[in-house]
Amino acid sequence: MRARTRASVVAGLSAGALLLAGCGGGGGDAGSSATGGGGGAGGDIVVRGCQPQNPLIGGDTGESCGHDIVELFAATLFRYNPDTGEPQPDIAQSVETSDNQNFTVKIKPGYKFQDGTEVKAKNFVDAWNYTANSKNSQYLSYFMEPIEGFKDVQSEDPDGADGPQTAPAPKADTMSGLQVVDDHTFTIKTSEPVSNLPVRLGYTAFAPQPDAFFADPAGFANKPIGAGPYQVTNYTQGQQAVLQKFDGYSGQFAGQVNQITFRIYQDVGAAYNDLLAGNLDVLDEMPANALVGKKYQSDLPDRWAEKPFAAIQTVTFAPDNVSPNYADPRLRQAISMAINRQQIIDDQFDGARVPATGWVSPGVQGYVEGACGENCTYNPTKAKELLQQAGGFSGKLTISYNADADHQAWVTATCNSIRTALGVDCVATPVTDFATFRDRIGKQEMQGMFRSGWIADYPHIESFLTAVYSTGGSSNDGKYSNPQFDAKLADAAKAEGAASDTAYQEAEKMLAAGMPSIPMWYYTAQIGWSEKVSNVKVNWQGRPDLLSVTAQ
């Protein structure tokens, strides 16, 4: 989730980090119950959180800091299996199509929101229309793009968000492709066939909203209402979010503990120390110094787990209009070839990463190795040649990162590798916290290069490509645009089975020519927990599966 997602732009990836076999602490299996203290339903737990970028609304939360919270209080048509990522019916009774373009959705009667009202077909249709409509400025509006009529609810500001002009009203308020049939049935028509649409519908961008939401969306964001297993009882930005078990939960995916408190940390090292002191119950990542020599395994005997998951660390180039001196693809390829990924992984993560060979991580349908080709292979000689062909580089290269996660060491090591190979200075540049970091990227104020990452929102190659690299994609932070790439994605969406996977793989290989970002490595999640909790495991998105956790 995605996403890892969902889209799940990764705060930490690691500081917010958000299908493969893994091993748990003390030799146990990360996919099974873990030891460490008592058990039984009930109790309260405190988990490490980070500051969400946007309000806690399904259509506006696209990074792991917020998504960790939203997925607990929201319910969607499907919920992804925590071990495999496969979509399992939640609110959906059925989703049927004969042509991958016209879908009939039936929802389960009697499913309740946390305000006691019933989830009806109109709550999905109204929520998706709200998310899609550009006047509502929802971060994940792009996820509605396949639905017929999406373009009619979009309107572009003629001089940008900060200019004096205002965007004209959209042509329509709602998408023509959504129709309510009755209280428990609605239809979806897409502008083109989309073979994997049902797989996408488990992402929280597609969560329904109660009628109360539309009366006061801004106020709702401070104490949101969903239909999931937990409900938000307190949210104080920069401090904590408190969720309590929803006694009226209608679904089949209930949690075990009575209360989950996300304590927001500015430093993962402080969170780790709190875990060791017994003041924190679940930690979603390890600080770099705890990875060296696998120190966390001795600090937390039988209270840790690790597992590869569907996520990637990248370094993205600022849009060409922001940093034109980085625009030449040969310069970008040179920088990528100048990075000794394996050495950085060994030195900074004690080998707990895998060098990336493309823009899609293993563990999802359609993954293929080697899409980046020689551009992701350490080759200082070829890197210098490409740099010369690009006319060299004047000044200092910069890589920015959010300082509330443990990125300083590896970003600095990456700059050192680039400096050594190319003879060009490179500076690791911190930004206070993840929310500020993301805001600066969104406003196109971030220059040079910046740390980026992605967790699959759903276990499919498309989750890594469309939102991040298609023209106008919701998480296309570098504003990359390639009409041939877009056309190939459209072809892949129309195709089915192996033909669809092949078309997506061909699209991924196109990225090597323009290098909109530098693939760095694929992730292995390392998590830890206190003696108070049991049954802690890593889910398919590399996050602690909080619904399975039990406490004393």
pLDDT tens column, 318-344: 999 999 999 999 999 999 999 999 999
Judge if 98 and 227 occupy the same domain.
Answer: yes
Q: Can you give the pLDDT at residue 165?
A: 64
Is the model's pLDDT at 25 over the cut of 90?
no
Higher pLDDT, 494 or 89: 89
The pLDDT of 341-361, averaged and rounded, is: 94
For residue 503, what pLDDT is reported?
Answer: 97
Domain boundary among 233, 265, 296: 233
Mean pLDDT of 2-27: 30
Band of residue 457 on the pLDDT scale cut at 50, 70, 90 = confident
- Winning range, highest mean pLDDT, from 82-86, 197-201, 331-335: 331-335
Claim to verify: residue 210 and residue 330 sit in the same structural domain: no
- Domain of 97, CATH number, reads 3.40.190.10
Mean pLDDT along residues 182-206: 94
Whole-Å CA distances, 77 to 192, 198, 248, 278: 22, 9, 18, 37
Using the predicted structure, report yes or no on whether residue 255 has a pLDDT greater than 60: yes
The token pair that represents 144 in the structure block: 């509605």
Mean pLDDT of the residues in the chain: 89
CB-based burial of residue 375 (10 Å sphere; 0-12 exposed, 13-18 middle, 19+ buried)?
Answer: buried
* Residue 214 domain-assigned (yes or no): yes
Query: Averaging pLDDT over each range in 29-38, 445-454, 455-464, 471-480, which range is the top one?
Result: 445-454
Residue 266 is assigned to a structural domain of this protein: no
Same domain, 102 and 203: yes
- Are residue 77 and residue 165 in the same domain, yes or no? yes
Q: Which residues are paired to 289 by β-bridges?
A: none
Q: Backbone phi, then psi, for 104, in 5-degree steps?
A: -110, 120
Using alpha carbons only, give the angle 205, 208, 209 rounded to the nearest 5 degrees: 110
Report the DSSP pairing between strands 304-317 and 517-529.
antiparallel
Rg (CA), the chain: 22
- Residue 256 counted as domain residue: no
Total tally of structural domains belonging to the chain? 2
Report d(CA 319, CA 201) in Å as an integer: 30
Name the domain boundary from 233, 265, 280: 233
**Judgement on whether residues 371 and 489 belong to the same structural domain of the protein:** yes
Give the tokens for residue 36: 């460490």
Say if residue 75's pLDDT is above 50: yes
Note whether 409 and 323 are same-domain residues.
Answer: yes
Please give, one letter per residue, the 3-state secondary structure of 135-179.
HHCCCCHHHHCCECCHHHHCCCCCCCCCCCCCCCCCCCCCCCCEE
Confidence of residue 35 (pLDDT cuts 50, 70, 90): very low
Is 312 found in the same domain as 181?
no
Backbone angles phi, psi at 537, to 5 degrees: -145, 165
Give domain status of residue 478, yes or no: yes
Q: Is 79 contained in some domain?
A: yes
pLDDT of residue 157: 67
Query: Which of 20-29, 88-97, 267-276 has the least mean pLDDT?
Result: 20-29
Average pLDDT in the 161-180 region? Answer: 84
Residue 514 near residue 328 (C-beta atoms within 8 A): no
Residue 204 has phi, psi (to 5 degrees) of: -65, -15
Q: CA dihedral in degrees (146, 148, 149, 154; nearest 10)?
A: 0
Query: Would residue 72 count as lying in a domain?
Result: yes
The pLDDT of 408-437, averaged and rounded, is: 95
In a domain, 267, yes or no: no
Give the pLDDT confidence score for residue 379 in this predicted structure: 98
The pLDDT of residue 8 is above 60: no
Structural domain containing residue 423:
308-525
User: Do 90 and 222 belong to one domain?
Assistant: yes
Q: For residues 214 and 312, state if they share a domain.
A: no
For residue 64, the model assigns a pLDDT of 83
Residue with the larger pLDDT of the pair 307 and 415: 415
Q: Which CATH number belongs to the domain containing residue 449 in this structure?
A: 3.10.105.10
Residues 210, 70 within the same domain: yes
Which pLDDT belongs to residue 159?
60
Short-list 430, 466, 438, 451, CA closest to 520: 451
User: What is the rounded average pLDDT of the residues 182-205?
Assistant: 93
Q: Is the pLDDT of residue 163 over 80?
A: no
The reply to whether 377 and 468 lie within a common domain is: yes
> Is the residue at 550 inside a domain?
no
Range name among 114-118, 155-159, 212-216, 459-463 with the lowest pLDDT average: 155-159
Do 220 and 340 lie in one domain? The reply is: no
Question: Residue 169, Cβ neighbours under 10 Å: how many?
Answer: 10
Picking from 211, 233, 255, the residue at the C-terminal end of a domain is 233
